[in-house]
Amino acid sequence: MSFKVAIKGRDEKVTVEMGETILAAALRAGVPYPCGCRSGNCGACKSTLIAGEIEMSPYSDYALSKPEREQGLILACRAVPWSDCEVAWLEPDDVAMHPTRHLDCEVTGIEDATHDIRIVRMVIRAGGPFDFSAGQYASVIFAPDRAGHLPPRDFSMANRPGGETLEFHIRLMAGGAVTPYVAHSLKPGERVRVVGPYGNAFYRPRHTGPILAIAGGSGLAPIKSTVEEALARGAEQPIRLYFGVRAERDLYLEDHFEALAAGHPNLKFVPVLSEPDAPTQRRTGFLSEAIGKDFQDLDGFKAYLAGPPIMVETCTRVLKHLGLARQNCHADAFYTEADKAKLETAK
Ligand code: FES
């Protein structure tokens, strides 16, 4: 049994199989439904339920508050239809319209960026062209030819859109099923399957006001893509890039961003250490504190955030408190498989 879900303003209806979520069915059909975590954590797939019945799996209050649910909003990644439905995207004109591609890639370079982050570069061998918006991510399968290949994992593109090569920043997660392979076994020449693009925290080039880019750890990847894309398009407004890490050994690409800032006076790069392990001249503390000190009013800004959920959530609260409009806050929190599993066990 299946149901039809109409999306306001779009001609085609999505067929949703029994027990499937609206988002999963839409992405399977190649519809660029706004989304981020796909696990009820981020709120990027928030939509209005215009008609029909759905059942929601567990989700976080951050993604969808009780008052929002009472107003008829749903999370498409947690909404399983029980009848034909009609939904509306919150920002229908603000969706990245790129076809979903299934790419065959080959690893061309692996670099140790820090003690636990590797920069992996690959070239697209087949399945392109790969159009995406800066800040989006893809589902990546390493060792696809191996018997019992590794499960897919989401990683953000760190390069600007438009080329034949892709760059991913991959942090080793202890006990993970995929990142230990990348950290210890991945070799140049290996095949990688990449499916995407996904994600709604992408660069909006029409915005001409100041830009606040906030990255935590390997969240630097989509923020790098966003900042580089803005500069390459000739953005002249102030761009403030805050990069939060624990200690000195976690900083990477500092020379790259210092050089970029030297060539673009509108870019300012601010590393912040939350737990320095030695006396330092650098900014210290949490990113949310640094931003709270440096800004009084964010009206007219656009903010792009990527990194660990706790960083994204605390910074988002500070940004709202400083007057940033909701539609100007584009956040991509990196939920681990363990984070996603927590909601499942909360049933
Ligand atoms: S809450 Fe649905 S994509 Fe993140």
Q: What is the mean pLDDT of residues 66-95?
A: 89
Q: What is the mean pLDDT of residues 215-224?
A: 98
pLDDT score at 346: 55
Q: Which of 21, 31, 38 to mutate to test the pocket of ligand 1 (most atoms within 8 A of CB)?
A: 38
Q: Which of 27, 39, 154, 198 to mutate to test the pocket of ligand 1 (most atoms within 8 A of CB)?
A: 39
More confident residue, 90 or 91: 90
pLDDT score at 114: 98
Ligand 1 atom index nearest CA of 36: 3
- Measure 340 CA to ligand 1 centroid, in angstroms: 11
Share of the chain above pLDDT 90, in %: 77
- Measure 31 CA to ligand 1 centroid, in angstroms: 15
pLDDT score at 190: 96
> Could you tell me the pLDDT band of residue 148, with boundaries at 50, 70 and 90?
confident
The SS3 assignment for 25 reads: helix
- Measure 199 CA to ligand 1 centroid, in angstroms: 9
Ligand 1 atom index nearest CA of 59: 1
Task: Please name the helix (run of DSSP H) or strand (run of DSSP E) that holds residue 55, with its range, or none.
Answer: strand 54-56
Query: How many CB atoms within 10 Å of residue 51?
Result: 10
pLDDT score at 91: 73
More confident residue, 118 or 96: 118
pLDDT score at 90: 84
Ligand 1 atom index nearest CA of 78: 2
Decide if 294 contacts 288 (C-beta within 8 A): no
Ligand 1 atom index nearest CA of 42: 4
> Could you tell me the pLDDT band of residue 206, with boundaries at 50, 70 and 90?
confident
pLDDT score at 16: 96
The mean predicted confidence, pLDDT, of the chain is 92
Task: Return the DSSP state at 86.
Answer: E
Q: Is the pLDDT of residue 113 over 80?
A: yes
pLDDT score at 226: 98
Query: How many CB atoms within 10 Å of residue 74?
Result: 21
- Measure 122 CA to ligand 1 centroid, in angstroms: 28
pLDDT score at 52: 95
pLDDT tens profile 19-34: 999 999 999 998 888 8
Q: Which of 33, 57, 77 to mutate to test the pocket of ligand 1 (most atoms within 8 A of CB)?
A: 77
- Measure 200 CA to ligand 1 centroid, in angstroms: 10
- Quote the CA–CA distance of 329 and 212 in Å, as a whole number: 9
Q: Is the pLDDT of residue 93 over 70?
A: no
Task: Return the DSSP state at 262.
Answer: H
pLDDT tens profile 130-145: 999 999 999 999 998 8
Torsion region of 254: left, alpha or beta (phi above 0 gives left; psi -120 to 50 gives alpha) = alpha
Q: What values do phi and psi take at 259, rounded to 5?
A: -65, -40
Please, what are the domains in the chain?
2-89 (3.10.20.30), 101-198 (2.40.30.10), 211-337 (3.40.50.80)
Q: What is the pTM of this model?
A: 0.83
- Measure 226 CA to ligand 1 centroid, in angstroms: 21
Ligand 1 atom index nearest CA of 76: 2
Decide if 227 contacts 306 (C-beta within 8 A): no
Ligand 1 is surrounded, with C-beta below 6 A, by 35-38, 40-45, 63, 75, 77
pLDDT score at 43: 85
Decide if 26 contacts 4 (C-beta within 8 A): no
Ligand 1 atom index nearest CA of 35: 3
> Could you tell me the pLDDT band of residue 112, with boundaries at 50, 70 and 90?
very high
pLDDT tens profile 288-333: 999 999 999 999 999 999 999 999 999 999 999 999 998 899 988 8
